[in-house]
Amino acid sequence: MPVKRVQSMLDVSGINAFYGQAQILDDVSFSVQAGEVVALLGRNGAGKSTTMKTMMGMVKSTAGDVTFMGSSIKNLPSHTICQKGLGYVPEERRIFTELTVMENLEVGKQDERDGAPLWTPEKLFELFPNLGEMKNRPGGQMSGGEQQMLSIARTLMGNPSAILLDEPSEGIAPVIVEQMAFTISALKKEGLAVLLSEQNLHFAKLVSDRAVIVEKGSVRYQGTIRELEEHPEIRDAYLAV
Amino acid sequence: MGFYLAQFLTGLASASSLFLVASGLSIIFGVTRIVNFAHGSFFMLGAYLAYTFVELMPHGILGFWGSVIAASLAVGLIGVLLEITLFRRIYKAPELFQLVATFGVVLVIQDLALWIWGAEDLFGPRAPGLEGAVRILGEPIPQYDLALIVLGPAVLLGVWLLFNKTRWGTLVRAATQDREMVSALGVNQSRLFTSVFFVGSTLAGLGGAVQLPREAASLLMDLNVIGEAFVVVVIGGMGSVPGAFLASVLIGELNAFGILVFPEITLVLAFLVMAVVLIVRPWGLLGRPDAVLRGASGPPEEPLRLFTPLSRNLILGLVGLLIVAPFIADEFTVVLLTDILIFTLFAVSLHFIMGPGGLVSFGHAAYFGLGAYGAALMVKYLGIGMISGLVVAPVVAGIGALIFGWFCVRLSGVYLAMLTLAAAQITWSIAFQWQDVTGGDDGILGIWPAEWASDKMTYYYLTLLLVFGGIYFIRRVVYAPFGFALRAGRDSALRVEAIGINLKTQQWMAFVLAGVFAGIAGGLYVYSKGSIFPDELAISRSVDGLVMVLLGGIQSLLGPIIGALSFTLLEDLVTRLDYWRIIFGGVILFIVVIAPEGLAGFARKLLPDRLTGKTEEEARS
Ligand SMILES: Nc1ncnc2c1ncn2[C@@H]1O[C@H](COP(=O)(O)OP(=O)(O)OP(=O)(O)O)[C@@H](O)[C@H]1O
Ligand SMILES: [Mg+2]
């Protein structure tokens, strides 16, 4: 039995997930503390996105538990999970293309939450100056990088205490990746817990405290980023180079 | 000049009421992806409730408009009630289920309306203060028409503001694109959907209520308006309110002027325009392409099952029973069995195009009716004999399927379903309106079998032979390379195209084949009844076919046979009752909600494996 630690912000213990008959996740466990950035690493199809979707209640788990700030959120409806303060930035951004930047932010807006930073469009435009210059542009007419920022900003409008970021660096220009790293550090400073799914090891190293590696739906390695750097054989075994 | 202007204004006035209904339908579809037949019932209820409120409230301007508003809101609440109790359960179901379920609601509401308001048409009051007419260029234009002409754009403006200037509208537009994401951002989908249903049904109710001074409230309003509303929504683009407005004006004017040029085929015109728009812009004038892709989804089908020795023996036993039936049953039963056989072939042909073919057809009655009318017209005008008639029937139906199918296989999902429905409505309106040739509502009478086949027993055997032959043939086709290619194409169009199969042509041929067999059923039908009426081509006949397929379950080839049998028996039993629609609708709703895998699938769960057969994969391993 694992030793019960001080309560974490986010605790995933022994969850599984199926698409139809196919088992995608098997006994996945890890946790994220407040103010901590954890990288969820793994190759294409390893099960990173599915882990996040299961945490958000979009895919149902028949085993284990997911707790968030001390209470179970497993298999709750997504909107309830979000209202409790867990934000989700999906892969491929999923911007509302017909809606303007301001309207996209409006969809994400939630009431102020005790103990979590309060975000307004003005405050977000300080973090993402580009967005401030295109307030009325439809989401469909923005570049990939701009859409990625909008997707994060939209989720922050819900004033989350923890945030799941699914491959934020995917398919965007290196300068923007740098800006993204800056953003994540800023969120960490605000005290948010961040779970970051990545294939880009370089980027993950820049911003994360710890790493969780999944392969074929199971956790294969957990440790600090420093430990991971000291053991290149782990990286070679589970990650694309 | 004045005359044309008057005609133009009449067109605009009818466009307004049509717009109210269609915009509600479009809003509901945009967010929930439900193709709601019951929307026409909301329209009808709006008119009836307005009638009742006008009676209750003090007369006068306030009383009239107060009643109109009260009626719309009441209809909105009815929509909410239905959403919470029923529609919510079927958001993830395949289109077939949704459509049939909403049609169940249509039946239930029809009988409730009959029970509450009676069968007589109810003439509403004129709108106080707007009873007269104004002369414009010498032509009298009813004041109320002018009021409607203003109302349409006013509602458009109101809906536009609601959608673009409120948080609610922003959420609805976001949900139209990606409802899962909206949910992950903390928005309660259920509540959003319920509110969307409220707005949509209120608009339908308003459309019906304002129609009251122009048109008596009647029990036919629901299905009459829904066909046109579908056309408007499809032309305008599913989910687009401005599109619905544009299309309403187009259809309103088309009707107003079409009646001057082709009084016989005004109904056809609307559907023709729709077919053309769908071919040129498959997602409608102001719609978005994504609706096409997202409409077509459903759970994957189970593989086809092979017969086990035991089920084969059971079927042989059934066949034997059908062969000796006339010797042990009375004449009444033989006639009923003939009906059952005919509808079995009809259902099997529909199942073929929907199951293995993967094309959802909401208008299969067209080919049944084309077969029946084809034979009947030849008998009436050329005096051909029964055998020739039975040959003509599938030929005419096949030609119809060849023409409509060419358009239909170019679309998919909801749009395909709507186009098949439109095709059926075209044939229906020709049969209904072209009185000189088809006899219109009076139908064609006196189509009797040849001398040698005129006794019920012989005709029964003739039917048995053709129906068995047809089913056997279809089963062979399903298990032939053609059938495999068809099912492969249904499951992955891209891969099938990649190995060099022209999927569209395959589907087109399948569509024609399904039409041909429906045509044989139609031919058999007309000779067994001795007459044919436009009803055999109407929406409800198409839905009958869908219910049969659904009853039996879409996954198995035996399904449609079981479905047609239970449907015809149930219909025979129930239609003798006064309020049969409510029972029938109730049964439909019960099946959709409780046994969505159909009777065959439901039975399979209860029966042991050796009876139900293995899937192909299981058999191979
Ligand atoms: N909707 C689905 N239906 C069936 N299988 C799915 C579905 N979504 C994902 N899978 C499968 O589940 C497995 C895990 O997918 P997942 O998207 O979680 O991987 P991932 O680690 O996020 O990969 P990537 O880095 O490519 O995004 C893969 O094998 C994938 O094929
Ligand atoms: Mg992924």
CATH, residue B495: 1.10.3470
Residue A43 Cα to ligand 2 midpoint, Å, equals: 9
Chain A CB contacts of B189 below 8 Å = 77, 79
Which residue in A78, A82, A105 has the most chain B C-beta atoms within 10 A of its own C-beta, making it the best mutation to test that interface? A78
A90, A99, A158 ranked by CB distance to B186: nearest: A158
Rounded to an integer, what is the distance from CA B263 to the centroid of its chain?
Answer: 25
Provide the pLDDT confidence category of residue B440 given band limits of 50, 70 and 90. confident
Residue B535 DSSP code? G
Collapsing DSSP states into helix, strand and coil, what is residue B615?
strand
pLDDT in tens, B270-290: 878 887 887 788 888 888 765
Chain A CB contacts of B294 below 8 Å = none
Residue A184 Cα to ligand 1 midpoint, Å, equals: 25
Q: Nearest residue CA, atom 26 of ligand 1?
A: A44
pLDDT of residue A3: 46
Question: H/E/C letters for each residue in chain A?
Answer: CCCCCCCCCEEEEEEEEEECCEEEEEEEEEEECCCCEEEEECCCCCCHHHHHHHHCCCCCCCCCEEEECCEECCCCCHHHHHHCCEEEECCCCCCCCCCEHHHHHHHHCCCCCCCCCCCCHHHHHHHCHHHHCCCCCEHHHCCHHHHHHHHHHHHHCCCCCEEEEECCCCCCCHHHHHHHHHHHHHHHHCCCEEEEEECCHHHHHHHCCEEEEEECCEEEEEEEHHHHHHCHHHHHHHCCC
B192 vs B296: which has the higher pLDDT: B192
How far is Cα A213 from Cα B15, in angstroms, rounded to an integer?
61
B323: pLDDT strictly greater than 60: yes
Collapsing DSSP states into helix, strand and coil, what is residue B134?
strand
Least confident of A66-80, B529-543, B593-607: B593-607
How far is Cα B25 from Cα B37, in angstroms, rounded to an integer?
9
Same domain? B187 vs B74: yes
* pLDDT average, residue stretch B148-174: 94
A112-118 contact pairs (CB < 8 A, 24+): A112/A159, A113/A85, A113/A159, A113/A160, A113/A161, A115/A161, A116/A85, A116/A159, A116/A160, A116/A161, A116/A192, A117/A159, A117/A190, A117/A191, A117/A192, A118/A159
Q: Is the CB of A45 under 6 A from ligand 1?
A: yes
Q: Nearest residue CA, atom 24 of ligand 1?
A: A44
Angle at alpha carbon of residue A157, lines to A156 and A160, rounded to 5°: 50
A6: pLDDT strictly greater than 70: no
Number of domains comprising chain B: 2
Question: Pairing relation of β-strands A37-41 and A65-68?
Answer: unpaired
Collapsing DSSP states into helix, strand and coil, what is residue B135?
strand
Q: Nearest residue CA, atom 13 of ligand 1?
A: A45
pLDDT in tens, B195-214: 999 999 999 999 999 999 98
Q: Give φ, ψ of A86 to 5 degrees.
A: -105, 115
A163: pLDDT strictly greater than 90: yes
pLDDT of residue B338: 93
* pLDDT average, residue stretch B130-143: 84
Q: Are A166 and A89 in contact (CB under 8 A)?
A: yes
Chain A CB contacts of B181 below 8 Å = 90, 94, 96
- The Cα-based distances of B259 to B215, B272, B387, B540, B560 in angstroms read 18, 15, 39, 26, 41
B162: pLDDT strictly greater than 60: yes
Chain A CB contacts of B174 below 8 Å = 96, 99, 103-104, 107
Residue B140 DSSP code? E
**Domain span including residue B464:** 305-620
B263 vs B210: which has the higher pLDDT: B210
Question: Pairing relation of β-strands A193-198 and A37-41?
Answer: parallel
A123: pLDDT strictly greater than 90: yes
Verify whether the Cβ–Cβ distance A96 to B180 is below 8 Å: no
Q: The tokens of B400 are what?
A: 């119809």
Residue with tokens 């054989």: A233
A213: pLDDT strictly greater than 50: yes
Q: Nearest residue CA, atom 31 of ligand 1?
A: A45
Q: Is the CB of A91 under 6 A from ligand 1?
A: yes
How far is Cα B63 from Cα B58, in angstroms, rounded to an integer?
5
- Give the rounded percent of residues in chain B with a pLDDT score beyond 90: 40
pLDDT of residue B598: 64
pLDDT of residue A200: 82
B181 has a chain A CB within 8 A of its CB: yes
B-facing residues of A in 97-156 (CB < 8 A) are 97-99, 103-104, 106-110, 154-155
Same domain? B433 vs B320: yes
Q: Are B265 and B430 in contact (CB under 8 A)?
A: yes
Least confident of B7-21, B298-312, B363-377: B298-312
A85 to chain B: closest CA residue: B186
Rounded to an integer, what is the distance from CA B309 to the centroid of its chain?
Answer: 39
| Closest approach of A100 to chain B, Cα-based (Å) | 10
Q: Nearest residue CA, atom 5 of ligand 1?
A: A19
CA proximity to B470, closest of B368, B366, B572, B360: B368
The answer to whether residue B273 is domain-embedded is no
Provide the pLDDT confidence category of residue B607 given band limits of 50, 70 and 90. low
Query: Domain boundary at B170, B199, B219, which?
Result: B219
Which residue in A53, A60, A79, A119 has the most chain B C-beta atoms within 10 A of its own C-beta, making it the best mutation to test that interface? A79
Same domain? B479 vs B577: yes
Q: Is the CB of A42 under 6 A from ligand 1?
A: yes
pLDDT of residue B555: 65
How far is Cα B487 from Cα B170, in angstroms, rounded to an integer?
40
* pLDDT average, residue stretch B94-100: 80
Q: Nearest residue CA, atom 4 of ligand 1?
A: A19
A-facing residues of B in 116-175 (CB < 8 A) are 167, 170-171, 173-174
- The Cα-based distances of B50 to B108, B159, B251, B494, B583 in angstroms read 20, 22, 26, 52, 27
Q: What are the E-state strand segments in B350-481?
A: 444-445
Verify whether the Cβ–Cβ distance B184 to A79 is below 8 Å: yes
Least confident of B440-454, B558-572, B606-620: B606-620
B-facing residues of A in 13-72 (CB < 8 A) are 20, 56, 58
Query: Domain boundary at B169, B190, B219, which?
Result: B219
A15: pLDDT strictly greater than 80: yes
Least confident of A127-131, A193-197, B125-129, B540-544: B125-129
The answer to whether residue B295 is domain-embedded is no
> Over the range B123-135, which residues count as b (16 or more CB within 10 Å of their CB) and which as e?
ebbbbeebeeeee
Instruction: Count the alpha carbons within 13 Å of B550 in the hemisphere toward its beta carbon.
Output: 30
Q: Is the CB of A49 under 6 A from ligand 1?
A: yes
Instruction: Count the alpha carbons within 13 Å of B599 in the hemisphere toward its beta carbon.
Output: 18
Provide the pLDDT confidence category of residue B615 given band limits of 50, 70 and 90. very low
| Closest approach of B92 to chain A, Cα-based (Å) | 14
How far is Cα B109 from Cα B580, in angstroms, rounded to an integer?
12
The answer to whether residue B579 is domain-embedded is yes
Domain-wise residue ranges, chain A? 10-238
pLDDT of residue A241: 56
- The Cα-based distances of B401 to B231, B352, B431, B517 in angstroms read 20, 14, 17, 11
How far is Cα B301 from Cα B615, in angstroms, rounded to an integer?
12
Same domain? B215 vs B350: no
Query: Domain boundary at B219, B239, B259, which?
Result: B219
Ligand that comes closest to the CA of residue A48: 1
Q: Give φ, ψ of A195 to 5 degrees.
A: -110, 120
B558: pLDDT strictly greater than 90: no
Domain at A10-238, CATH from 3.40.50.300, 1.10.1530.10, 3.40.1010.10, 3.90.850.10: 3.40.50.300
B298: pLDDT strictly greater than 60: no
B131: pLDDT strictly greater than 50: yes
pLDDT of residue A2: 47
How far is Cα A121 from Cα B568, in angstroms, rounded to an integer?
62
Instruction: Count the alpha carbons within 13 Å of B310 in the hemisphere toward its beta carbon.
Output: 8
How far is Cα A18 from Cα A60, in angstroms, rounded to an integer?
8
| Closest approach of B173 to chain A, Cα-based (Å) | 8
Verify whether the Cβ–Cβ distance A106 to B182 is below 8 Å: no
Collapsing DSSP states into helix, strand and coil, what is residue B454?
coil
Least confident of B36-50, B70-84, B413-427: B413-427
How far is Cα B349 from Cα B549, in angstroms, rounded to an integer?
10
How far is Cα A200 from Cα B60, in angstroms, rounded to an integer?
73
pLDDT of residue B402: 95
A-facing residues of B in 287-326 (CB < 8 A) are 288, 300
Collapsing DSSP states into helix, strand and coil, what is residue B549?
helix
How far is Cα B257 from Cα A214, in angstroms, rounded to an integer?
68
ipTM of predicted complex: 0.93
Verify whether the Cβ–Cβ distance A108 to B288 is below 8 Å: no
How far is Cα A9 from Cα A67, in angstroms, rounded to an integer?
8
Question: How many residues in total does chain B contain?
Answer: 621
Verify whether the Cβ–Cβ distance A98 to B173 is below 8 Å: yes
Query: What is the enclosing helix (H) or strand (E) of B62?
Result: helix B61-85
Q: The tokens of B196 are what?
A: 């969307």
End-to-end CA distance of chain B: 78
Collapsing DSSP states into helix, strand and coil, what is residue B139?
strand
Shortest-distance atom of ligand 1 to CA A217: 14
| Closest approach of B186 to chain A, Cα-based (Å) | 4
Query: What is the enclosing helix (H) or strand (E) of B221?
Result: helix B221-236
B315 vs B470: which has the higher pLDDT: B470
Q: What integer best gives the mean pLDDT of chain A?
A: 90
A228: pLDDT strictly greater than 50: yes
B396: pLDDT strictly greater than 90: yes
Number of other residues whose CB lies within 10 A of the CB of residue B556: 24
pLDDT in tens, B328-353: 888 888 999 999 999 999 999 999 99
Q: Is the CB of A46 under 6 A from ligand 1?
A: yes
Same domain? B315 vs B211: no
How far is Cα A191 from Cα A198, in angstroms, rounded to an integer?
21
Rounded to an integer, what is the distance from CA A181 to the centroid of its chain?
Answer: 13
